[in-house]
């Protein structure tokens, strides 16, 4: 009787242990599957999030490039317009200076001739100075403009400019790059050398000035 009771107790313990093992095994398998599914789910979501961020970044970069391109076009248009306006303004100012409609001042040269000379030399001097970049020229304080009719010689040999008779000494004032203007007149075989060769006892002075002023006409 005692042996049978012991056998039953032992059998019951084994059964309980088996059942417990089965339950634990099932729980472990269930947890393992759940963990696997969770990891897969998290990994998938992370990948999607990263992909979405990349797409957003790419879209932002594309939009930024388009914005930069648009701004560059606008800048070029504005720059072109600004350059065009500046060019027009310079041309207007230049024409006003030629017409003698504005006061003008700046560095330049003063070329004074002591001798009586023919009108052809007046023409050569002004042409040389304008060709060398002179912005404005005056002779004996009479400013040359686009309305000036040139130098005329009167029957008695006097030179007339804009209805005014010129008398020696003749003073040519020119506003512009002083060094360039001076070098043009003094260059070898230049205008001064020609005048020395053709005018007896040619007397003159030529100097650079930091500031020359000319009133509008």
Higher pLDDT, 154 or 74: 154
Tell me whether residue 195 is in a domain.
yes
Contacts of 203 (CB under 8 A, 6+ apart): 113, 114, 115
Tell me whether residue 70 is in a domain.
no
- State the burial class of residue 125 (Cβ atoms within 10 Å of its Cβ: 0-12, 13-18, 19+): buried
Find out whether 174 and 136 touch, Cβ atoms under 8 Å: yes
Counting the structural domains of the chain, the total is: 1
Tell me whether residue 153 is in a domain.
yes
> Which domain, by its residues, includes 107?
100-214
Which pair of structure tokens corresponds to residue 64?
């930024």
What confidence tens digit (pLDDT) does each residue in 137-191 have?
999 999 999 888 789 889 888 999 989 999 999 999 999 999 999 999 999 999 9
* pTM beyond 0.85: no
Tell me whether residue 204 is in a domain.
yes
Find out whether 133 and 94 touch, Cβ atoms under 8 Å: no
State the alpha helices, DSSP H only, in the chain. 2-99, 119-131, 178-186, 191-198
Tell me whether residue 13 is in a domain.
no
- State the burial class of residue 19 (Cβ atoms within 10 Å of its Cβ: 0-12, 13-18, 19+): exposed
CATH of the domain at 202: 3.30.70.1880
Q: What is the mean pLDDT of the chain?
A: 79
Longest CA span, the chain? 173
Integer distance in angstroms from the first to the last C-alpha of the chain?
A: 149
- Across residues 111-132, what is the average pLDDT? 95
């Amino acid at each position: 009787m005692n042996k049978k009771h012991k056998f039953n107790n032992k059998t019951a313990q084994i059964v309980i242990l088996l059942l417990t093992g089965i339950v634990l095994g099932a729980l472990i398998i269930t947890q393992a599957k759940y963990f696997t599914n969770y990891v897969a789910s998290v990994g998938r979501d992370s990948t999607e999030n990263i992909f979405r961020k990349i797409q957003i970044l790419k879209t932002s970069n594309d939009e930024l490039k388009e914005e930069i391109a648009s701004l560059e076009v606008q800048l070029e248009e504005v720059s072109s317009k600004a350059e065009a306006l500046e060019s027009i303004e310079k041309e207007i100012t230049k024409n006003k200076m030629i017409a003698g409609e504005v006061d003008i001042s700046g560095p330049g040269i003063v070329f004074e001739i002591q001798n009586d000379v023919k009108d052809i030399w007046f023409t050569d001097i002004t042409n040389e100075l304008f060709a060398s970049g002179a912005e404005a020229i005056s002779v004996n304080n009479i400013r040359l403009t686009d309305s000036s009719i040139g130098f005329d010689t009167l029957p008695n040999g006097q030179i007339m400019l804009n209805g005014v008779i010129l008398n020696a000494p003749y003073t040519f004032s020119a506003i512009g790059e002083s060094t360039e203007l001076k070098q043009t007149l003094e260059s070898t075989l230049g205008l001064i050398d020609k005048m020395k060769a053709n005018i007896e006892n040619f007397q003159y002075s030529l100097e650079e000035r930091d500031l020359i002023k000319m009133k509008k006409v």
